[in-house]
Structures are given as structure tokens and as C-alpha cells.
Amino acid sequence: MALNLTRRKFLQTASLAAASAAMSGCFAKKADASAPFVRKPFTAPGSFAGTTTAVGGVCEMCFWRCQLVGKVRDGQLVKLEGNPKSIDNGQSICARGNAGVKLLYDPDRLKFPMKNVGKRGAPEWKRISWEEALDECASKLKAVVDKYGPQGIAIFPHGSSAKYPMTFFEHVVGTPNNSEASFFQCRGIRDTAYVATLDVAPGENVDMPNAKAIFLVGCHFGENVHVSHLKRYLKGLENGAKLIVVDPRFSASAAKADIWVKIKPGTDTAFLLAIMNYLVKEGKYDKKYVEEHGQGFDQFTKAIAHATPEWAAKICDIPAKQIKEVADMLAANAPSVSIHPGRHVSWHGNDFQRERSLACLTGLLGAIGVKGGFVAGKGPKSGKAGWPKPMAEHAEKYALHKLAKVHPYSPPGTPTDLIRNAAVTGKPYPIKGFVAWGQNPIQTIPDQALTIKMLQQMDFVLVCDVMPTDITMYADILLPESSYLERYDHIQKGTQWNFADPHQQFITARMPLVSPTAADHERKDSVWIVNELAKRMGYGEHIKVQSGEDMTDKILAGAEPPLSIEQLRKEDGIHVQPGVDPYGKALDVYFFSEDIAAAGFPGAPTYIPVPEPPKGFARLVYGRAPVHTFNRTMNNAWLHNEMPTNPVWLNDESAKKMGLKDGDSVMLVNQDGVKSRTSTVVKVTPGIRKDTVYMAHGYGTMNPLMTVGAGAGVDDQSLISKSAVDPETGAHGMRNNFVKFIKDGKELSIPA
């Protein structure tokens, strides 16, 4: 770990130009990491003579969806680059974006419809025709609907191609049991907490390029590598913004911080309450903004009056002096303060309160609608196309959280645990049909044993994916989907990333960069698959779009001005138009919410303690890796070559007492006696608290058909057997499990 990396050195080496070059070319010489991906050699080494440029690419190697162009030779994609016309990511793409070529030509990709003639979890695959696959899927799903009602089906979708099947099952078939990992294990808590506090979902809409101070709670910028977002962050640092990072680990962001708060995990809300109480008592908040736009401020100040820096210091295990230092730095730079809402915020089961605290702190500093603050740039309009909603009312009626009158601030869909528990118990109704589309619930959801138990009791399991991830092992029918480089299915729109630039908007559509037609596979896109399924299930009358291309054109036709695929191609894949000044819009801030209080929860943000590690254990936390998107990229040979395992971070003093050295091979065991299936290596570092260990998420794939990723590293999710559910939202907290190390068969306790 580069503990001696200074902020000055970072800014000297991480200019936007340097960052762009590193992101766009860092894997150019890594083609020999695995088998060649092109069938014909280039005319000359390093030459792209004879290639054409295909426009309209929108990346799906992560959810950030950078705009791409593809270099194509003899029908083969040989290189991906950022679209020069993009006002979002520009010509920059990250390592994962470059490695999309390797995904496209991965020999382990799903190729044909398959039927499991063995057992779920230990499949034996038989190749079948699309006709047979669709007939069986339709008959089995229809049988579930006829016997148990539409609510008898659950769908677990993820990614842009899953939207069409998700809305089909919810709006046309009528099931409410839709659980997206992006909501219930990621950002859903953030969105609902901000809506309850500011009446808007936040996205990542902080104006970091113009900030005087940037405040990050657990954000791992530089490890998540969302390109345009990193550009905003880097521009803010280049422009002199102060950086405050709150994290139990010396993350890539903490390495660049003016203040690093080495906080005890699970206590962030106490820290935030102390900052706000200090600002109020010292009169260092934006009195004018609070007076004009604050709701319930007096009740709020009374509710947090106990939260002194000294009170929080004991809970958070940090100096009271540092809490005051952070508060003073925020106040000194207000209102041009970017208080980041976070992204993957499902941590401890008390997360709604933490996100409410971040929103309230933003309002307290008046950092809304101003340069450097919380600013939502206005994107362009587009049309709609897809499914009508004949069964939406039925789905609403059978929503599990509404039947049980729990989790009133649930994100869209149904909380995952309610679905799993209903399926296993049959109460309040049976769930006997399961559809996974682009999501791997084995790796996204805590308590794998409960997920597997849910799957085993299903009458029918359908999985559609690009790769043979762990969930595919439990499918009865497995369908191969075309990749994001071969299909139409997504409209990407937004504003330029730097609000300091002239205000602009953009809109683009995902278009195939190469043809999906090939003799060695039968992959199809989600629109074709679901339309064929709908016809067989008796819902054909509701089909409104005939293909992915048709859907894309209809959505573009509703833009202002009207657009089309043909027009976008003429404009090099992206339509850019003048934007709207994003500044000047104030938002009301519900410091104390009567609605939240009426629902039975604290009306003002409140610290809720989380369990302490048992003796000999440390809290397991996890995060992103800069060259991987969780499990989604684990079989990519180029990316695997760069980071083949996920080292477990261990405090250096603890390691010395345990007799462990950097690079030692270990397994892990949690508080319930659950052992990791595989091993990883130890990363000994002073850059983590003694009560915490950390690893990157997504490793340890158990499906042997993932020949590159199978068994590589440790699956942290397998060790999260103890669930913590956020009471307001029903979303999972996934950092409430504790582990010991196993070396040479011997369990090693972690010193307190």
C-alpha cells in the first residue's frame, strides 16, 4: 500500500489526460492473457488497417454505461473505445470497458437453450431447440399462474436487458414479486431516504468539479471506476477541493484525503448526528436556507441535542477533535460542498437513518442547487415503449410488504426476504415459479442457504443470462442471451459531467456493434424471447413492440426533438443539444418528517447501534475492485489476469500476533461456523482497523462452467449467513457478519 502517496503527487499523476490514457489503453497489450479473440490476424502488428468504426455502443460491463465505438474487421470486433462525441465519458473507458471484447468472444458464454435433466444445483445439461425451450417455459409458468395466481411467480432481474421481461411479468402477468439487486442490495435505501427528506432521488448528482469540499462516507472512488463520475471527482481535486473520507479502511479515496476518519463500522450515523449538532450549536449552518426551506427544524434540533462530539467519539472510536475538524471544514466551505449520497449503501440494517442524515446535512449547509453542491442536471426527454399495464393493480394488491404492512419506504419491487420467506413457508401465499434474468442471486443476496432452499421448492426455474453464473446451476431451462455488444435495448441520456462547462444534454441508444448471427450459437435478445414467451402464455395481444430495434425507435421518436436510430447513426451515435442551467433550484428539507414518524419510525435521523464482533472475530466488509464488476466479470480472462483473487485485508499488528504474513494462503469461517469454500491470500496493512477485515466482492464462483473464474478467491457472500434488514425499506444490510481465519486447518482468532 502506498501510504506515502501525497495528495500533491496524486494530482500531479492523475490529471484527466493521464487518467483517460490509463483507462482507455491499460489492457492493449494483455491479449495474450488467454486464447486469441479474433479469427484472422491483422495485416501488420499494431495496425488497424481495414477496420471500420461502428457507433452506438453503450457499455454494460458495469451499470455506468459509457458510450462506445467499436473497431470491426471482417465482422469481428477487435477493439472498443470511448465515443469521441460523448460529453459524458468522452474517449475514456476503463479496464472493464476495454475487456468487453473478451466477454463477446468468451468460449464459456452460453450458446444454446439448455434443459436440466439432472438436479438443481448439480445440473446435467441437454441441448434443446428454442421451440422446445419456449414451449416448456410457457407451459410451466402458465401452470403456476393457473394454480397459484400471478403472485405465484417471482422475478429477479438486473441490467438493461431485464427491463422488458421485468415489466412483462409485473404489468401483464401481474406478479409483484420483483427483486432487483440494484435496489434491494445497493441503492434503494439511498433513493427512498432522499425522497423522504428532499422529495427527489439523488442519483450521484453532486457537482464535484465546482466543490470547495467533497465529503465521502464509505465511497471507494478509484476502486469503483465509473469513468465520468471519476472525472468529476478528479476535476474537483484538481480545482483545489478539500477531501474528507470516512472509512474504516485506507481506500483509494482515503489515500487522497485531507482528513481520513478511520471510523468504526456501523457508527456512521452517530458521527453525522454529532457533526450536525455541533454545526447547529455553534451557529455554523445556513440559517437563511433552513429558515426558508427547512421543515421540522426545531423538532430535529431537539432530537439530536444529545449527539455531542464527545458522545459520538466513544461510539465511533475516533477523536472528538476530529469530528469538530470535519464539521468546521464543511462549514468553512459551505455551501459549495459535495456531500455524496453514496451508491452501494446496504451495509448494516440501519442505513435509512444514515442516508437521511446525509440529506439533512446537505440541507443544513445550504448545499442544494448551488455550484459545488447537490445539483441535478436536467437531461433530455424521451418517449416510452414496452408493455401496457392490465395487471398492475393486481400486482399492487398482492405486494408482500403491503399485505404485511411493513417496510413502508421500500424501493420499487418487493423486499427480497419477504419473497424468500413466502416461498419457503407458503405464507401469505405460495411462490412456485422463479425467473432470474441477468441477476445472480446466489452472489447478490445474503444467506445463500435460504436462497437455495427457495429455489429447490419451486415448481419451475427459468434463467436467462450471457454467462453460466452460479444461479444457472439451479435452472430447469437455461436460455442464452445476446450480449450488450450485439443488441438494441437501452436508451442512455443525461447531462455533461462538468457543470462548469456550457450546459448540454445528450441522448444515445444502444445499437449492435457486431452482428449476433453466427453458426456456432443461437443467442437471442430479451425482446424476442419475451415476445415469444408471451404469445405462448396467452398474452400476445399485449405485445406493442416487435423487436429491440422497434422498441428503440419508438422511444427515440418521443424525444424532443424526435429522433431515430438512423438519425443517431448520422450523428456518430450520440445526439447532443443545449442543456438547462442546473443551478438555482432550492429543495425543501424535511429535517423532522411527520410522515416517517406516523409510520412508526424516528422522525429525525437517529443512530441505531449494530452488533459488536464476538471475541476472536472481526467484522467482514466488502467492496468493489477496479477491474471487476462484482461476479459479472469474474470469467473475463483479461480482467482475471490483472486481479485473479481478492486478498483479505488484515491489520498489520493483528497479523503479527496471529503469525500471518503478507501473501499467506487462508480460508475464513464466520460466527455461524460457515466456512469459505475456497481460499485467498492475506494482505497485511496498517490501513485497516483491527476490528475489521475487507475483501472485494464477487469472487469464488462455484460453477465449473466458468472455467476462468471458478474457485478463484473467496465468495464473501457465502460468509454472510446472518441477515440484517433495514426496517424502513426491507433492504439487506450485508456487513453484520464476522469472521476468523483458517490457516493449515487451524482457526486463528483475531486479537481485539
541, 565, 586 - which closes a domain: 541
Helix, strand, coil percentages for the chain (3-state, nearest 5): 35, 20, 45
Q: Which residues of the chain have pLDDT under 70?
A: 1-49, 517-519
52-58/680-685 β-pairing: unpaired
Of 553, 604, 678, 526, nearest in space to 298 by CA: 604
Q: Judge if 214 and 334 occupy the same domain.
A: yes
**Which cell is 448 given?**
445463500
pLDDT of residue 17: 31
pLDDT of residue 28: 29
How far is Cα 175 from Cα 420, in angstroms, rounded to an integer?
Answer: 15
Q: Is residue 324 part of a domain?
A: yes
Q: Is residue 554 part of a domain?
A: no
200: phi then psi, degrees, rounded to nearest 5: -140, 145
Q: Name the DSSP class of 368.
A: B
Q: Judge if 45 and 76 occupy the same domain.
A: yes
What separation, in Å, do the N-terminal and C-terminal C-alpha atoms of the chain show?
Answer: 23
Alpha helices of 199-308 — where are they, by DSSP H?
227-238, 268-281, 287-293, 297-303
How far is Cα 233 from Cα 216, in angstroms, rounded to an integer?
Answer: 11
Sheet holding 259-261, edge to edge: 259-261, 242-246, 213-217, 337-339
State how far the alpha carbon of 466 is from the alpha carbons of 59, 112, 114, 161, 395, in Å: 15, 11, 13, 11, 29
How far is Cα 272 from Cα 483, in angstroms, rounded to an integer?
Answer: 43
Q: How many CA atoms lie within 13 A of 454 on its CB side?
A: 29
State how far the alpha carbon of 380 is from the alpha carbons of 231, 391, 551, 553, 595, in Å: 22, 30, 18, 16, 32
Q: Judge if 87 and 146 occupy the same domain.
A: no
3-state DSSP assignment of residue 113: coil
Residue carrying C-alpha cell 424501493: 411
Q: Judge if 351 and 445 occupy the same domain.
A: no
Q: Judge if 204 and 351 occupy the same domain.
A: yes
104, 132, 153 - which closes a domain: 104
Give the CATH number, domain containing residue 73. 2.20.25.90
Q: Judge if 263 and 133 occupy the same domain.
A: no
Tell me, what amino acid is at 181?
A
Residues 6+ apart with CB under 8 A from 278: 284, 308, 309, 323, 324, 327
Angle between helices 320-333 and 268-281 (to 10 degrees): 60
How far is Cα 628 from Cα 624, in angstroms, rounded to an integer?
Answer: 7
Residue carrying C-alpha cell 419477504: 418
How far is Cα 717 from Cα 712, in angstroms, rounded to an integer?
Answer: 14
The kind and range of the H/E element at 153 are: strand 153-157
Please give the sequence-ordered ranges of beta strands (E in DSSP) within 402-476, or none if there are none. 433-437, 460-465
Of 77, 73, 110, nearest in space to 486 by CA: 77
674 close to 448: Cβ distance less than 8 angstroms? no
**Which cell is 481 given?**
442471451
Q: Judge if 215 and 270 occupy the same domain.
A: yes
250 close to 688: Cβ distance less than 8 angstroms? yes
Q: Judge if 190 and 175 occupy the same domain.
A: no
Number of neighbouring beta carbons within 10 Å of residue 520: 7
The kind and range of the H/E element at 596 are: helix 594-598
Of 150, 619, 593, nearest in space to 392 by CA: 150
328: phi then psi, degrees, rounded to nearest 5: -65, -40
**Which cell is 140 given?**
410451466
Q: Judge if 128 and 36 occupy the same domain.
A: no
Q: Judge if 366 and 268 occupy the same domain.
A: yes
pLDDT of residue 76: 93
459 close to 115: Cβ distance less than 8 angstroms? no
Of 265, 432, 283, nearest in space to 365 by CA: 283
252: phi then psi, degrees, rounded to nearest 5: -60, -35
The kind and range of the H/E element at 216 are: strand 213-217
State how far the alpha carbon of 329 is from the alpha carbons of 18, 279, 452, in Å: 29, 11, 49
Tell me, what amino acid is at 638?
W
Compute the radius of gyration of the chain from its Cα atoms.
Answer: 25
State how far the alpha carbon of 268 is from the alpha carbons of 315, 481, 561, in Å: 9, 41, 46
46: phi then psi, degrees, rounded to nearest 5: 80, 0
Q: For the whole model, what pTM was predicted?
A: 0.93
Give the CATH number, domain containing residue 532. 3.40.50.740
Predicted confidence (pLDDT) per residue in 22-73, tens digit: 333 322 233 333 333 333 333 333 445 689 999 999 999 999 999 999 999 9
Q: Is residue 644 part of a domain?
A: yes
Q: Judge if 680 and 731 occupy the same domain.
A: yes
720 in the Ramachandran plot: left (φ > 0), alpha (ψ -120 to 50) or beta?
A: beta
Q: Is residue 613 part of a domain?
A: no
Q: Judge if 225 and 365 occupy the same domain.
A: yes
Measure the CA angle with vertex 691, ends 689 and 694; round to 5°: 70
What is the dihedral angle through the alpha carbons of 28, 29, 30, 35, rounded to the nearest 10 degrees? 100
Of 345, 411, 439, 435, nearest in space to 629 by CA: 439
3-state DSSP assignment of residue 293: helix
**Which cell is 102 given?**
473478451
pLDDT of residue 465: 98
Of 461, 490, 430, nearest in space to 156 by CA: 461
How far is Cα 113 from Cα 132, in angstroms, rounded to an integer?
Answer: 9
**Which cell is 473 given?**
446451476
Please give the sequence-ordered ranges of beta strands (E in DSSP) within 499-645, or none if there are none. 504-509, 574-578, 589-590, 618-623
How far is Cα 424 from Cα 683, in angstroms, rounded to an integer?
Answer: 39
Q: Which range of residues forms the domain containing residue 27?
A: 19-104
**Which cell is 678 given?**
475456497
Give the CATH number, domain containing residue 627. 2.40.40.20
Tell me, what amino acid is at 429?
Y
Residue carrying C-alpha cell 417455459: 137
Entry field: residues in the chain: 752
53, 69, 104 - which closes a domain: 104
Q: Is residue 612 part of a domain?
A: no
How far is Cα 444 from Cα 697, in angstroms, rounded to an integer?
Answer: 9
Q: Is residue 569 part of a domain?
A: no
346 close to 731: Cβ distance less than 8 angstroms? yes
Q: Is residue 284 part of a domain?
A: yes
Give the CATH number, domain containing residue 241. 3.40.228.10
How far is Cα 606 from Cα 331, in angstroms, rounded to an integer?
Answer: 22
Q: Is residue 327 part of a domain?
A: yes
Q: For residue 335, is the peptide bond before it cis, meaning its omega torsion is within 30 degrees of 0?
A: yes
Q: For the chain, how many structural domains are there in total?
A: 4
